[in-house]
């Protein structure tokens, strides 16, 4: 099959990647649309040692599902962690941290920048008919944004700042706004801030952040400067949620975190069913985030575009429109 291949921090288009043959319990999915996210860009920079087909944000159509033929022909999105269900971590209810897991396009499993991918049927979620592909492809990052509410109880009395208004920060702010919290989103680029302002979310630059004034700060910039803004923003016994992955090491002054008894929470994958519901109901419309669409044959150029400062979402059409 045709696929984008990442190896030794180099991307190239290949025509000879083996199409997956799904074992019982897994499905072969023909990919319709895939999204480039910051994790994909960090993989190219060496964030994690990976060789294979990248990509984990997708919508596609099931072509084969041995033993679960009722899934054939369904339009689906898919959770990216493939777990064993048997290790100590899985049995303890922490399956997304399975000791033997593979992760779509990230850890030992070819991903979505290809004509086909394979995932367990248990990972799939059917896309409602009224949700077009260019909205459904945002299910995974929307779920990642909703994970914050799985980890921290947030209500109307909470003061929350989202640091970074890029593609993930936008979805984080949009989902947090549904809680009714006192919300501020800050960033550098006028356009993403304007998109949030159009949704009724208060926005500003880093200068709008008052030190020690927020109950929670969510760091979405992917750079150490954003982490420092988040640290300064939270009150004593406040909470910092880290949504960014970083290539290389990050220096953090831990003394204020200890003295102020700040809680640090790492946050990544989240719940797909609520994310799909949110998108289907129109509570979050991510389409204004799309800057450009490329064909699968142009995926290297798509990554180059996505890496430009100020770019929001870049999508890749993998060959099937639904």
DSSP secondary structure of 236-251: EEEEEEE----SS---
User: Is residue 200 domain-shared with residue 313, that is, in the same domain?
Assistant: no
For 264, the token pair is 């640090």
Is 53 part of any domain? yes
* 189 and 125 belong to one structural domain: no
**pLDDT on residue 222:** 80
What separation in angstroms does the CA of 205 have from each of 189, 209, 226? 9, 8, 11
- Region 121-144: mean pLDDT is 97
pLDDT at 293 over 80: yes
Tokens of 11: 């991307």
Answer whether residue 156 is part of any domain: yes
Q: Are residues 91 and 175 in the same domain?
A: no
DSSP bridge pairs for 62: 29
Verify that 166 and 253 share a domain, yes or no: yes
| Residue 127 within any structural domain of the chain | yes
Q: Check whether residue 167 and residue 228 sit in a common domain.
A: yes
User: What average pLDDT does range 259-286 have in this prediction?
Assistant: 95
pLDDT, mean over the chain: 94
Output the pTM of the full model: 0.94
Is 156's pLDDT higher than 70? yes
- What are 227-252's pLDDT values in tens digits? 999 999 999 999 999 998 766 677 77
Q: What pLDDT is stored for residue 321 in this prediction? A: 45
Same domain, 124 and 59: yes
304 and 215 both lie in a single domain: no
Q: Which pLDDT belongs to residue 111?
A: 97
Indicate which CATH number applies to the domain containing 230: 3.40.50.720
Quickly count helices (H) and strands (E) in the chain: 10, 17
Residue 175 · residue 150 · CB < 8 Å = no
Look at residue 322 in the predicted model and tell me its pLDDT: 39
Average pLDDT on 8-12 reads: 95
Q: What is the pLDDT of residues 12-63, one digit of tens each?
A: 999 999 999 999 999 999 999 999 999 999 999 888 889 999 999 999 999 9
pLDDT of residue 249: 72
Number of structural domains in the chain: 2
**Average pLDDT value for residue range 86-108:** 95
In terms of domains, do 129 and 151 share one? no
230 within a domain of the structure (yes/no): yes
Residues 208 and 233 both lie in one domain: yes
**Mean pLDDT, rounded, for 153-158:** 96
Binned at pLDDT 50, 70 and 90, residue 317 comes out as very high
Chain-centre distance of CA 162, in angstroms? 16
10: domain CATH number is 3.90.180.10
Distance CA 26, CA 246 (A): 32
Percent of the chain with pLDDT over 90: 89
Percent of the chain exceeding pLDDT 70 equals: 98
* Shared-domain flag, residues 67 and 155: no
Per-residue pLDDT at 246: 66
Within a domain: 125 = yes
160/176 Cα distance (integer angstroms): 9
Residues 121 and 173 placed together within one structural domain of the fold: no
Residue 150 sits in the same domain as residue 202: yes
Cα separations in angstroms, 153 against 99, 128, 302, 317: 28, 29, 37, 38
Predicted local confidence at residue 253, as pLDDT:
83
Measured CA to CA in angstroms, residue 123 lies from 77, 81, 119, 199, 272 at distances of 8, 8, 7, 32, 10
Q: Stretch 140-148: mean pLDDT, rounded? A: 97
pLDDT over 60 (residue 264):
yes
Mean per-residue pLDDT for 71-100?
96
How deeply is 236 buried, as exposed, middle or buried, from its count of CB atoms within 10 A (0-12, 13-18, 19+)?
A: exposed
Does any domain span residue 322? no
Look up the domain containing 182 and give its range. Answer: 143-266
Is 86 a domain residue?
Answer: yes
> Would residue 275 count as lying in a domain?
no
């Amino acid at each position: 099959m045709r696929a984008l291949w990442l190896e030794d921090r180099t991307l190239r288009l290949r025509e000879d990647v083996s199409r997956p043959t799904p074992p019982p319990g897994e499905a072969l999915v023909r990919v319709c649309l895939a999204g480039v996210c910051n994790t994909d860009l960090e993989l190219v920079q060496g964030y994690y040692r990976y060789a294979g087909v990248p990509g984990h944000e997708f919508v596609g159509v099931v072509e084969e599902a041995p033993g679960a033929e009722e899934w054939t022909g369904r339009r689906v999105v898919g959770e990216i962690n493939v777990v064993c269900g048997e290790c100590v971590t899985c049995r303890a209810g922490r399956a997304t941290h399975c000791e033997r897991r593979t992760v779509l396009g990230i850890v030992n499993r070819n991903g979505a920048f290809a004509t086909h991918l394979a995932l367990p049927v248990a990972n799939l979620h059917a896309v409602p008919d009224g949700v077009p592909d260019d909205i459904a492809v945002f299910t995974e990052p929307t779920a990642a944004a909703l994970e914050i509410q799985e980890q921290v109880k947030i209500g109307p009395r909470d003061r929350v700042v989202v640091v970074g208004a890029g593609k993930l920060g936008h979805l984080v702010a949009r989902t947090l706004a549904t809680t009714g919290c006192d919300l501020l989103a800050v960033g550098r680029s006028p356009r993403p801030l304007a998109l949030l302002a159009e949704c009724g979310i208060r926005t500003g630059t880093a200068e709008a952040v008052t030190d020690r004034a927020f109950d929670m700060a969510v760091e979405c910039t992917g750079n150490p400067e954003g982490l420092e803004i988040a640290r300064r923003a939270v009150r004593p016994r406040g909470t910092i949620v880290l949504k960014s992955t970083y290539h290389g090491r990050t220096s953090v002054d831990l003394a204020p975190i200890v003295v102020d008894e700040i809680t640090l929470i790492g946050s990544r994958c989240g719940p797909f069913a609520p994310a799909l519901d949110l998108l289907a109901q129109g509570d979050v419309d991510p389409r204004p985030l799309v800057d450009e669409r490329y064909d699968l044959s142009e995926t290297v150029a798509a990554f180059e575009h996505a890496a430009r400062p100020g770019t929001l979402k870049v999508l890749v059409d993998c060959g099937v429109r639904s």
